[in-house]
Homo-oligomer: A and B are copies of this chain.
Amino acid sequence: MIRSLFLTLCAAMCIHWAHAEDGSRLWLPTESNGQPAQINLKHSSPTLDIAADELRQFWHGQPVDLILKRDKSLKADGFSIRHTDKGLTLSSPHETGLLYAAYHLLRMQAAGETVNDTVVNPTYSLRILNHWDNPDGTIERGYAGKSLWQWAELPGKLSPRYQAYARANASIGINGTVLNNVNASPSILSDEYLQKVKALADVFRPYGIRVYLSVNFASPMVLDSLPTADPLDKNVIRWWKQKAKEIYRLIPDFGGFLVKANSEGQPGPCDYGRTHAEGANMLADALKPYDGIVMWRAFVYSPTDADRAKQAYQEFKPLDGEFRQNVIVQVKNGPIDFQPREPYSPLFGSMEHTPLMAEFQVTQEYLGHANHLAYLAPMWKEFFSLVPPSSIEAVAGVANIGSAANWCGHPFAQANWYAFGRLAWSPELSSGQIADEWLKQTFHMDNAEVKQMMLDSREAVVDYMMPLGLHHIFAWGHHYGPEPWCEIPGARPDWLPTYYHKADRQGLGFDRTSTGSDAVSQYPEALAKQYADLKACPEEYLLYFHHVPWTHRLKSGRTLWEELCYRYDRGVQQVRNFQKVWDKAEKQVDPERFLSVQSLLMTQARDAVWWKDACLLYFQEFSGMPIPYDIERPIHELKDLKKVQLPISNYECPTKEMLNERR
């Protein structure tokens, strides 16, 4: 049944794609070559059938043999490809490996590359998406429509999107998905919802994808009225064991739990005087009989400490070695919160006895929502240049996927989903290689300037939003647009921009050296020394680690103030350049996606000017210096920009009309 569903799906998509490109096919092949390729398969199974059908539909090359075989050089999901006199042989110890091999072939074909003999192993065995979807269909920090999961219709009705989703993920090697928000509703663990979860798991399974769930630590109290959620409480322990049994009866290959506890108001073990380890271990023990895991988030910070950047390390480092083997501590890439640039979190490399995994944010909460083109592979490669891939256990990506026809909101946002999967499999791939693959498969485009635009885009966002190590100066709540002046009476100081930029008459930036919060000391000695040295600190982290005088001279010879102005304006000019690059590519793109990206780049160009004007005019009140006169002047007045209030929630991206009306 899956096979026929699959063929129907492909046929439907082919017909659809021939007529329009609304972005729904992602990077996946469309043209059936008419003549099914010769694919030989000794066994049949849902996964193997999918692999064979993909190749029959879309492979234009030599005959292919799919072979299940043990191989010492291959990990579970790994595969080998070998040329024989009859054609190609794809080989793997597991079915999913053959599925990945099939997608590998199709990827090479679309990229126009020669298929060489090769042995391919993923770096990580766990390559997982985190969906911050709520039961009501909203997606926290989601800008591509509503949640894919139609809870009201499940389990009876299965949207065709579930399979398309699974296919897309399998094609880039993603093998796990957490279905729900880390600000978790306990209801996800109710029997009613577990039936729905099972239905999804059943669709995903043949694609090699296991489901996981975010769990609310207080679930026993909410679902079954237990008087406590103390992880050492016998009844609580029993409750979770029972719940695990219930889950695995429905979903034998359920992956495990993702937990946000004692963070931003979420319940957790610390409510009962227990440690994170005690909380995690209780859950881990419940899942252990079923080979399930617990991914316990280290995103914790409380308003009582002086430097939020230090707190995850301060809370978790002492717990090193205390976690069960099936617990992975999940740590955001940086110590603050997914900023356009942050240093890496010093927890990485400091917990020698605890498996850590990195949490990347694919959805662009701080990089322009679904309006700005920002290719994030360079950000994740930057992380890997400081945190060796082999030093962590896995990577998770907070998804940018929703019910929008094009899945991700911005056509280029798809590239980040794609890049996350490719880097989760092969973190040694370069950003350029991945961009190349994606452009060829998604747009059938081989355009050096468009590729360069992608590679430059993250840095452009840094430039026009938060250059030189600035961070967390965006608008309250929805996080779209600049608000470095934000003042909200009674708000947590560490939620306000002024806490982070600390602008005053002397200068700008957060002193994290020994004269300040000394957060640098959490880094390895050599790095700490470099970061702490005003002259040696990489300029991209300058205002992250130092409070720098406005008149301080940087490498360029410009003062801090001048360099700030120059960077913001450079970001604006970069986006205008992207507009030129994209317009030049018009003939290479279908009209629908061309116009969509063109329109979004206009919004991005206007937003870049908005960010630049807001930040420079506000910081100028402290620097007291003129914006260098060779720089394009602001076209907004600060008092007007301060009035901008976008009428959006944390689950929405502002529309062009909203933005037009406001700045």
Residues of A at the B interface (CB closer than 8 Å) are 576, 579-580, 583-584, 586, 599, 601-602, 605-606, 626-627, 629-630, 632-637, 640, 656, 660-663
Complex Cα gap A656–B643 (Å): 14
> In the complex where A586-B626, A656-B640 touch, is A576 in contact with B663 (Cβ < 8 A)?
no
Contacts of A606 in B (CB 8 A): 635
A627 → chain B closest CB, angstroms: 7
Q: Give the oligomeric copy count.
A: 2
A159 → chain B closest CB, angstroms: 32
- B634 engages A602 (CB within 8 Å): yes
- B632 engages A576 (CB within 8 Å): yes
Complex Cα gap A599–B579 (Å): 27
Contacts of A602 in B (CB 8 A): 633-637
Task: Identify which of A632, A660, A661 gathers the most chain B CB atoms within 10 Å of its CB.
Answer: A660
Complex Cα gap A199–B324 (Å): 98
Contacts of A633 in B (CB 8 A): 576, 579-580, 583, 601-602, 605
Contacts of A586 in B (CB 8 A): 626
Q: Which residue of B lies closest to A580 (CB)?
A: B629
Contacts of A579 in B (CB 8 A): 632-633, 635
A585 → chain B closest CB, angstroms: 10
Contacts of A656 in B (CB 8 A): 640
Complex Cα gap A601–B602 (Å): 22
Q: Which residue of B lies closest to A595 (CB)?
A: B637
Offer 30 A-B interface pairs, CB within 8 angstroms, sorted by A.
Answer: A576-B633, A579-B632, A579-B633, A579-B635, A580-B629, A580-B630, A580-B632, A580-B633, A583-B626, A583-B627, A583-B629, A583-B633, A584-B629, A586-B626, A599-B637, A601-B633, A602-B633, A602-B634, A602-B635, A602-B636, A602-B637, A605-B633, A605-B635, A606-B635, A640-B656, A640-B660, A660-B662, A660-B663, A661-B661, A661-B662
A82 → chain B closest CB, angstroms: 47
A157 → chain B closest CB, angstroms: 37
Contacts of A629 in B (CB 8 A): 580, 583-584
Contacts of A605 in B (CB 8 A): 633, 635
Contacts of A583 in B (CB 8 A): 626-627, 629, 633
Complex Cα gap A662–B663 (Å): 10
Q: Which residue of B lies closest to A599 (CB)?
A: B637
Complex Cα gap A106–B583 (Å): 58
Task: Identify which of A586, A601, A629, A663 gathers the most chain B CB atoms within 10 Å of its CB.
Answer: A629
A574 → chain B closest CB, angstroms: 13
Complex Cα gap A626–B582 (Å): 12
Contacts of A626 in B (CB 8 A): 583, 586
A90 → chain B closest CB, angstroms: 45
A184 → chain B closest CB, angstroms: 40
- Taking A584-B629, A660-B663 as known contacts, 5 extra A-B pairs with beta carbons closer than 8 A to each other, sorted by chain A number, are A576-B632, A580-B633, A605-B633, A606-B635, A660-B662
Complex Cα gap A497–B334 (Å): 57
Complex Cα gap A586–B584 (Å): 40
Task: Identify which of A579, A586, A633, A663 gathers the most chain B CB atoms within 10 Å of its CB.
Answer: A633
Complex Cα gap A661–B601 (Å): 20
Complex Cα gap A660–B656 (Å): 14
A562 → chain B closest CB, angstroms: 15
A162 → chain B closest CB, angstroms: 35
Closest A-B pairs by Cβ, 8 of them: A579-B633, A602-B635, A605-B635, A661-B661, A584-B629, A580-B629, A606-B635, A576-B632
Q: Which residue of B lies closest to A639 (CB)?
A: B599
Contacts of A663 in B (CB 8 A): 660
A107 → chain B closest CB, angstroms: 32
A464 → chain B closest CB, angstroms: 14
Complex Cα gap A633–B663 (Å): 19
A633 → chain B closest CB, angstroms: 4
A377 → chain B closest CB, angstroms: 25
Q: Which residue of B lies closest to A586 (CB)?
A: B626
Task: Identify which of A602, A605, A663 gathers the most chain B CB atoms within 10 Å of its CB.
Answer: A602
Contacts of A630 in B (CB 8 A): 580
Complex Cα gap A37–B149 (Å): 89
Complex Cα gap A599–B640 (Å): 11
Contacts of A632 in B (CB 8 A): 576, 579-580
Contacts of A636 in B (CB 8 A): 602
Complex Cα gap A90–B602 (Å): 63
A246 → chain B closest CB, angstroms: 53
Complex Cα gap A516–B163 (Å): 65
Contacts of A640 in B (CB 8 A): 656, 660
Contacts of A580 in B (CB 8 A): 629-630, 632-633
Complex Cα gap A145–B626 (Å): 33
A39 → chain B closest CB, angstroms: 45
Complex Cα gap A634–B603 (Å): 11
A533 → chain B closest CB, angstroms: 36
